[in-house]
Amino acid sequence: MIIIKSQHEIDIMRKAGEITAITLEKIREVISPGVTTGDLDRIAEEYIRSRGAIPSFKGYAGMPGAMKFPASICASVNNEVVHGIPGPRRLEEGDIISIDVGVFFNGYHGDAARTYPVGKISEKAEKLIRVTEESFFEGIKHAVEGKRIVDISGAIQRYVEKHGFSVVRDYVGHGIGREMHEAPQVPNYRTRERGPRLQKGITLAVEPMVNEGSYKVKILDNKWTVVTADGSLSAHYENTIVITEGEPKILTIL
C-alpha cells in the first residue's frame, strides 16, 4: 500500500533530507587518496547524531543469515555497486566511491546517494558518474501526478543505455517515509507492470545504479556488498523526492 504524506509529514521529511544532504557534503569534502571508508563513516555518524537524528542503515537487517548492517553509511568503491561496508580500506587516486546515506529524524527517513571521484579519475569513470546522475534527472521529469512509475523507470533506462552503460536489475528504488523502504518499488528499467499512478504526496527514493559493463551483479561472502559480476565500475545516484502537481520536489538537495 502506498502511503500518501501530508504537508506536515513532508515538512519533517525535508528536515531529514536536509541532514542527509549535509552529511553527503561533509563526506565529499574529505574524500581524497589515503582516507579510509571507515573515516567517512565516522564523520557521517557524528554529524547525523549531532543533529538529533539516527543513521537509518546502522543495524538494518539484511538477507537471512547476514549480520545487521554495522555502519552508518554504505561506501561502495569501484566495482562495488551498493551496500559496501566501511572499514580500513584506503581510497586510492583514480577510485570512484558511491556513498549512500540514510537519516531517520522525527519518525521519518531521508535517503540519498552520490558517487564521487578520488583524485584524478579516468574519462570513462567520469562519464559513468555523470550519466548516472543525469539519468536520475531524466527519470524524475516523469515523476508527476498522473504519470506512472514505469515512466520514470523507462526514462532512466533509455538514457543510461543510450550512453552505452547498463542499469542494475536486482536492486531498485522505493517509497520512503516512516519506513526506509515502503511501496512502491521504483525500478530503473522498464518492467511489464506499469506500476501505480503517481499522485501528490507520494514520496520516493529514486536511485539509478549504473554499471559500465553488464547489469549482472553478485553478492560478496559478507552477504551485503553487491559487486558487478564482470568486475566493471558501477555508480549510484539517489534522492528522496515528493510528487506534486507540477515538478517533483527534491528533499535531499540543499
Query: Measured from the CB atom, is 31 or 209 closer to Mg ion?
Result: 209
* Nearest residue to Mg ion, by Cβ distance, number only: 205
In the complex, minimum distance from the CB of residue 88 to Mg ion, in angstroms, rounded to a whole number? 26
Residue 182 interacts with Mg ion (CB under 5 A): yes or no: no
Q: Which amino acid is at 149?
A: I
In the complex, minimum distance from the CB of residue 186 to Mg ion, in angstroms, rounded to a whole number? 9
CB 56 within 8 A of CB 103: yes
How many of the chain's residues bind Mg ion (CB under 5 A)? 2
In the complex, minimum distance from the CB of residue 74 to Mg ion, in angstroms, rounded to a whole number? 9
Query: Measured from the CB atom, is 205 or 233 closer to Mg ion?
Result: 205
In the complex, minimum distance from the CB of residue 83 to Mg ion, in angstroms, rounded to a whole number? 11
Residue 205 interacts with Mg ion (CB under 5 A): yes or no: yes
Query: Measured from the CB atom, is 94 or 137 closer to Mg ion?
Result: 137
Q: Which amino acid is at 87?
A: G
Closest CA relative to residue 252, chosen from 10, 12, 17: 17
CB 122 within 8 A of CB 94: yes
Query: Measured from the CB atom, is 150 or 186 closer to Mg ion?
Result: 186
> What residues form DSSP beta bridges with 211?
166, 234
- Give the residue, chosen from 111, 138, 151, 212, that forms a contact with Mg ion under the rule CB under 5 A: 111
In the complex, minimum distance from the CB of residue 28 to Mg ion, in angstroms, rounded to a whole number? 18
Query: Alpha-carbon distance 9 to 251, whole Å?
Result: 12
Query: Measured from the CB atom, is 228 or 252 closer to Mg ion?
Result: 252
- Which cell goes with 39? 573515516
Which of these segments, 76-84, 104-112, 147-155, 159-167, binds Mg ion (CB under 5 A)?
Answer: 104-112
Residue 241 interacts with Mg ion (CB under 5 A): yes or no: no
Query: Measured from the CB atom, is 45 or 238 closer to Mg ion?
Result: 238
Query: Alpha-carbon distance 254 to 61, whole Å?
Result: 30
Residue 169 sits at the vertex; the CA angle it makes with 4 and 144, to the nearest 5 degrees, is: 30
CB 177 within 8 A of CB 17: no
Q: Which uninterrupted H or E stretch holds 189?
A: none
Closest CA relative to residue 156, chosen from 186, 128, 188, 184: 188
Which of these segments, 28-36, 49-57, 140-148, 198-206, binds Mg ion (CB under 5 A)?
Answer: 198-206
- Residues at the contact surface with Mg ion, assessed by CB under 5 A: 111, 205
